[in-house]
Amino acid sequence: MTISWLAFIESNTSGTGRLFARTAVQMGFRPILLTSNPSLYKYVQEDKLDILQVDTQDEQVLLKVCQQLAIEQQLVGITSSSEYYVASAASIAKPLGLPSPNPSAIQACRNKQTQRSRLKQAGINVPAFCSATSVEDAVTAAKSLGFPVVIKPVYGSGSFGVKLCSLVDEVVTHATYLLEQKQNERGLPLLSNILVEKLAIGPEYSVETFNQSIIGITEKHLGALPYFVEVGHDFPAPLKEAETQSIYQTIFKTLDVLDLGWGAAHVELRLTTEGPVIIEVNPRLAGGYIPELVRLSYGIDLISETIRQVVGIQPLLKKTMAGYTSIRFILPPVEGTIVEVNELETAQQIPGIIEARLYSKIGDCVYRQGNFRDRIGHVIASSNTLQATREVVNLAHNTIQLRYL
């Protein structure tokens, strides 16, 4: 029997990264992870997955490796669950004749400055912004836009480097920090410019899309400023019909302008008094367990459908359920060492709780970094009403007690 191999160029180091690999196996494919640093992926050893160490920053090397896989094995698809490698996956799949999105569209979208400029030119609302290549530029931009401003890297994911600045001194400090960074958390080189943008005021949502269809809208809960750590999600979001239609119109136009009509996309926006304002567009499936919320609420498994798309099988996007699902992440209130975990099992037994688990254990040191890595666990609840779901997920979240030293 011939084995159909599915190549992942890097991956999310947890969450959807592991779900992608497990789902591929369940669908009858054999996943192989191409990575420059195998130690990043604890789940690969635990799940006994195939792994090949290769320089994933060199697309020519990656292409040769994938060409060899295609010759020696039946390679049916190439993808990545990591934002940083979706463009590489597309660029390598294309010359091998494998299904893929437009590589140039993915690459352009990943550059937040290019993305913003194209959306603005097309008349789509985005926050007022400026690019800065020096601290002086950043200060000038902040004064011109008016405080408070958000400062962020041009390339980034998971709220890395995103911070609200309300004073000139804060702009100087954070701009200096970002401009001194030569590589990101994955060791990839960074551009020598940053974005300074006006803060958009309003509740935050994300829109999950696939091909040219909108799957649903997620309500997002953020942690304390000056950071923008996502601490919870509710799906589907409770919106008025007029709000939903306004968001839909904006999203369809956004996807068209950015040429993102193939596969999954994750669009973050704020609903302001002037309507939807696009914060950023990510040309890949959402993280933060949002695909799991969609599956539990609507019966649409976006991970398996992404795999189907990548290997050339028509995705199945029909909604078969109509429920509500919420996730709340556990974040440490202080930095220190976890010395005690209480009531985790109690939380797991609460009716309506789908999952309650910790990523960290007793003896682990935890830190507050102002990005998604602050999360040390989560609880997921699901039911047929949003109010009941929120009550259950918050109860379970508050039940779990951790002590730090």
For residue 7, how far is the Cα from the chain centroid?
Answer: 20
Provide the 3-class DSSP secondary structure of residue 268: strand
Q: Which residues of the chain have pLDDT under 50?
A: none
What confidence score (pLDDT) does residue 279 get? 97
Q: Classify strands 213-222 and 204-210 as parallel, antiparallel or unpaired.
A: antiparallel
Q: Tell the residue number behind the tokens 């601290």, with chain if given.
A: 135
What confidence score (pLDDT) does residue 155 get? 84
What confidence score (pLDDT) does residue 190 get? 67
Q: Over the stretch 53-77, which tens digit does the pLDDT of each residue have?
A: 999 999 999 999 999 999 888 999 9
What confidence score (pLDDT) does residue 189 get? 63
Identify the CATH number of the domain defined by range 4-100.
3.40.50.720
- The class of domain 128-198 in CATH terms is alpha beta
Q: Tell the residue number behind the tokens 């959807």, with chain if given.
A: 16
| Cα–Cα distance for residue pair 267/285, rounded to 1 Å | 10
Instruction: Determine whether domain 112-119+200-322 maps to CATH 3.20.20.370.
Output: no
Provide the 3-class DSSP secondary structure of residue 269: strand
Question: Are the beta carbons of 54 and 36 closer than 8 angstroms?
Answer: yes
Answer positive or negative: Cα dihedral of 390, 391, 394, 399.
negative
Q: Tell the residue number behind the tokens 């609507």, with chain if given.
A: 298
| Cα–Cα distance for residue pair 388/287, rounded to 1 Å | 24
What confidence score (pLDDT) does residue 256 get? 97
For residue 175, how far is the Cα from the chain centroid?
Answer: 24
Domain spans of the chain, in order of start: 4-100, 112-119+200-322, 128-198, 325-405
Give domain 325-405's CATH architecture.
2-Layer Sandwich (3.30)
What confidence score (pLDDT) does residue 11 get? 86
Task: Give, in order, the Cα–Cα distances in Å from 170 to each of 164, 185, 369, 385.
Answer: 9, 22, 17, 42
